[in-house]
Amino acid sequence: MNTIKTGLLLGILTGLLMLIGGYFGGKQGVVIAFIFAAVMNFASYWFSDKIVLKMYQASEVSERDYPELYSIVRNLALRAGLPMPKVYVIPSESPNAFATGRDENHAVVAVTDSIMRILNRDELEGVIAHELTHIKDRDILISSVAATLAGAVVMLANMAKWSAIFGFGGRDEEDRGGGIGLIVMAILAPIAAMIIQMAISRSREYLADEGGAHISGKPFGLASALEKLSRASQAIPMDANPSTAHMFIVNPLSARSLANLFSTHPPIEERIARLRKMAGRSQS
């Protein structure tokens, strides 16, 4: 169901792009904005692992450095049918984890050093399995496509805003409301694009929870981990860049009310309830 929802949301985002492009500059405006957004997001996707790992001062570790962590990643990757990803550790007192890399053969699983101090083995396996599901389902690619489309919408909206300020309307200006119509479109379109992006991210988180529970075989472990990580994140919020917040297993900005309002993550309570329900079905 969440997979279908993701496809529908990407379709809506594409439709929004076509709508604002047609309103403002016709096909030519859509093509130009889409090309610029695609180039920016392609570069971000291709180098995303290096950028985000450097941003959080993550260091690659070996089995000798972290034998239990490395063993968990290797065993779960084998169970998931994935190549062994690289393992990185982030120095941070806020426990969290994310996956990155452009495909299965260039994947990275990164955890903060503090996560291993508060989670037991079952919980840590649930977290790692969640991140491996993101890799298996190519969620990084899906996020990049959504960012490309949303970026194009924002660029066209900015073009519309400046056009309205300087008195240039879109096509069929009188029929479409002229400068007022452009201003309304410039305000509402980016908001709509952001909401759709958040909805896509939330759908992928539900799928990664479900996949992680299946791979690890321990839905209760993942549910318990989410509960602990959520409390710890609220007590010790990470100094994270909002543009990368969607990558983490729990929202690193959750202690900030504004970030909570525009969270890319589903409510922790709902995620935990789904996992416990899944565990109940497997035991019946």
Half-sphere exposure of 205 (CA within 13 A, CB side): 27
| 140 neighbors 134 (Cβ within 8 angstroms) | yes
Q: Does residue 131 have an active-site annotation? A: yes
C-beta neighbour count of 84 within 10 angstroms: 12
Catalytic residue among 125, 131, 205, 210: 131
Tokens of 113: 């050093």
CA atoms of 227 and 112, how far apart (whole Å): 17
Q: What 3 state SS string does 58-113 have?
A: CEECCCCCCHHHHHHHHHHHHHHCCCCCEEEEECCCCCCEEEECCCHHHCEEEEEC
The catalytic residues are: 131
